[in-house]
Amino acid sequence: MIDVDILWDRCLEELKYQVKDSVFTMWLRPLSVQQYGEQLVVLAPNQYFVTHVSKHYLNDIEALVRKHSDDVISSVVLRENNSSLATGLSEPTAIYQSQQTSLEIRSVIDDGMSKQSATHSKQVDSNIDKSLSYINPLFTFETFVSGKSNILAYKACFELGKKQSQNRHNPLFIYGASGLGKTHLMHSVAHRYLKIGKSFYYFSSEKFINQLVYALRNQKIEEFKKKIKRVDLLIIDDVHVLAGKTKSSSEFLSLFADFMMDDKQIILASDRHPSQMTEFDERFRSRFSWGLAVAVEPPEMETRMQILQKKAKLSGIELPKECALFIAQNVVSNVRRLEGALNQVLANANLTGQPIDLDMVQYALKDIVAMRVQSVSMDNIRKVVAEYYDVSVKDLMGKKRTRSIARPRQIAMALARELTGDSYPDIGQSFGGRDHTTVMHACDKVAQLRQEDPILDKEYKALSMTLQAG
């Protein structure tokens, strides 16, 4: 009996030197194996992996398996990883098998698939080839880290992915700043739709506009809309970019109405709430608000740490808790920057051969830390707040007490206290020699207003994120 784990480790070791590091980490490391008689089943995280690995790497994998098993393993198949294989496949499942000339869809159980099922599987595979070029294979619910900042959006999207969901919100409108996970959630729904046998189209707003313009110029707009209306789910990312594009907006509104009439799901994403999309006329804003609008906020400390540790684990690395804490303390603006910092640490470890510990992480991220320190300096806080509220730095430092100046001054003091940790007397001195009690009052007042006024709270968070993003 062959130890398939050892066999697979040997195969991975050779594959590691045949492909780029990024390719190995993304496409090959996540694979696992199980043996069934003389057959080795390679398990992939989702259907997109199956399609991509089958096309690019399966023949190489099969050759290495035969080599390291001394031809004891006669065939290699590739399929999506789920529990059905381990339980004997109560339902027929389509898989990919390596062939020199072509990829062939076969059943795990040779006589377990009817002709109707086989035809359906080929149709599904054809749809997958077309649709999956638009979605990230790693953007699934399993790899998403939920927390206070995104839990409502996560639950709403997860509900959509259920086969018999009774709690659909249509349209589902996800809003928040760039890099916070909106696209990840939408791709997760798309993956789940494929898993339950439904179809979708995913568009970035730019791709949607380009295809619309092409269809309009070539008198194919009805054909374009008819093709889209055949699917069960329409996803459009960064929908705010449609603002000001009259013809594209009009055709989208028509498509939107058709989807709603047919009770098909729409997911939209934007950088702000529908009510704040003032570039659109009232028709758009009202339709965007028909369903459920959910926010994705910057992740809090605990969620940032969980994201880092999960991302590291996906790369086969155990990130020590103190290292995750250090990164999370110094990168706070969004998930994309967190991933960038983590990648910098992993690259440093790979190049130097050093173990990942706190000293190494601090060295690898020294430039990021320096930028953060510089960005949250007292001078920069005053400058950023002044620009945001359209007042001068001189006014913030001066004696005027009008509300239009006093409130930004208080917010700047509160930000200085939170982000720099300077003492009340030091902050008072940097704001025109004010007494420390003035600064204490400002911090208390801002904390109170943030509890009472959601708009001011959002402004404060936006300023904090801007300053810490460097």
Q: What is the pLDDT of residues 83-138, one digit of tens each?
A: 333 322 222 223 333 333 222 222 222 233 333 334 444 443 444 334 444 577 88
Q: Judge whether 126 lies within some domain.
A: no
- Supply the DSSP string of 145-193, one letter for each residue: PP-TTTHHHHHHHHHHTSTT-S---SSEEEE--TTSSHHHHHHHHHHHH
Check residue 372 and give its pLDDT: 67
For 16-44, what is the mean pLDDT? 79
What per-residue confidence (pLDDT) applies to 166?
Answer: 58
Rounded Cα distance between 323 and 159, Å, is: 34
Q: How long a stretch of residues is the chain?
A: 470
Task: Identify the pLDDT of residue 131.
Answer: 42
329 shares a domain with 226: no
Count of CB atoms situated within 10 Å of the CB of 315? 14
Residue 74 or 159, more confident: 159
Q: Is residue 131 part of a domain?
A: no
Residue 128 lies in a domain: no
Q: What is the mean pLDDT of residues 53-59?
A: 87
pLDDT, tens digit, 9 for 90 and up, residues 348-398: 888 888 888 888 888 888 887 777 666 677 888 888 888 888 888 888 888
Of 163-172, 291-300, 329-338, minimum mean pLDDT range: 163-172
Query: β-pairing, 104-107 with 94-97?
Result: antiparallel
Q: Say yes or no: 63 and 43 in one domain.
A: yes
Angle of CA points 11, 13, 16, to nearest 5°: 105
136 within domain boundaries:
no
In a domain, residue 185? The reply is yes
* Mean pLDDT score, 201-227: 82
- Which residue, of 318, 341, 372, is where some domain finishes? 372
Number of domains present in the structure of the chain: 4
- Which residue, of 357, 372, 387, is where some domain finishes? 372
Q: Answer with the residue of higher pLDDT: 107 or 161.
A: 161
Q: Alpha carbon of 149 to those of 297, 298, 379: distances in Å?
A: 5, 6, 30
Same domain, 161 and 214: yes
pLDDT tens-digit map of 141-152: 988 988 888 999
pLDDT score, position 470: 54
Q: Are residues 278 and 312 in the same domain?
A: no
Domain co-membership, 64 together with 167: no
Which amino acid is located at 17 in the chain?
Y
Q: How far apart are CA 396 and CA 432, in angstroms?
A: 8
Q: How far apart are CA 228 and CA 195, in angstroms?
A: 20
pLDDT at position 164 is 62
Same domain, 383 and 353: no
pLDDT digits (tens, 9 = 90+) for 258-310: 888 888 889 999 888 888 777 777 777 888 878 889 988 888 888 889 889 88
**Predicted confidence band at 411 (pLDDT cuts at 50, 70, 90)?**
very high
Is 20 part of a structural domain of the chain? yes
Would you state the pLDDT for residue 374? 63
Whether residues 87 and 150 share a domain: the answer is: no
Residue 287 pLDDT: 81
Give phi and psi for 167, each to the nearest 5. Answer: -125, 50
- DSSP code, position 99: -
- Pair (278, 214) in one structural domain: yes
Per-residue pLDDT, 186 = 92
User: Do 342 and 323 meet the contact criterion of CB atoms below 8 Å apart?
Assistant: no
pLDDT tens-place string over residues 222-249: 888 888 888 888 998 888 877 777 777 7
Q: In the prediction, which pLDDT does 366 show?
A: 85
pTM: 0.57
Q: Are residues 231 and 356 in the same domain?
A: no
Q: Do residues 168 and 253 share a domain?
A: yes
Residues 230 and 279 in one domain: yes
Any idea what the CATH number is for the domain that residue 246 is in? 3.40.50.300
423-458 residue pLDDT tens: 888 899 888 889 899 999 999 999 999 988 888 888
Distance CA 291, CA 314 (A): 35
Measured between alpha carbons, how far is 147 from 108 in angstroms, rounded to an integer? 39
pLDDT tens string 288-301: 878 889 988 888 88
Band (56; pLDDT cuts 50, 70, 90): confident
User: Distance between CA atoms of 45 and 31, rounded to whole angstroms?
Assistant: 7
Tell me how far apart the alpha carbons of residues 204 and 295 are, in angstroms, rounded to a whole number.
19
Domain boundary among 347, 372, 397: 372
DSSP label at residue 24: I
Instruction: With beta carbons less than 8 A apart as the criterion, state whether 416 and 396 touch.
Output: no
Full domain range(s) for residue 195: 141-295
Contacts of residue 16, defined as CB under 8 A and 6 or more positions apart, other chains included, come to 24, 28
Q: How far is CA 193 from the centre of its chain?
A: 17
| Phi, psi torsion values for 309, nearest 5 degrees | -70, -35
Do residues 155 and 283 share a domain? yes
- Average predicted confidence (pLDDT) for the chain: 78
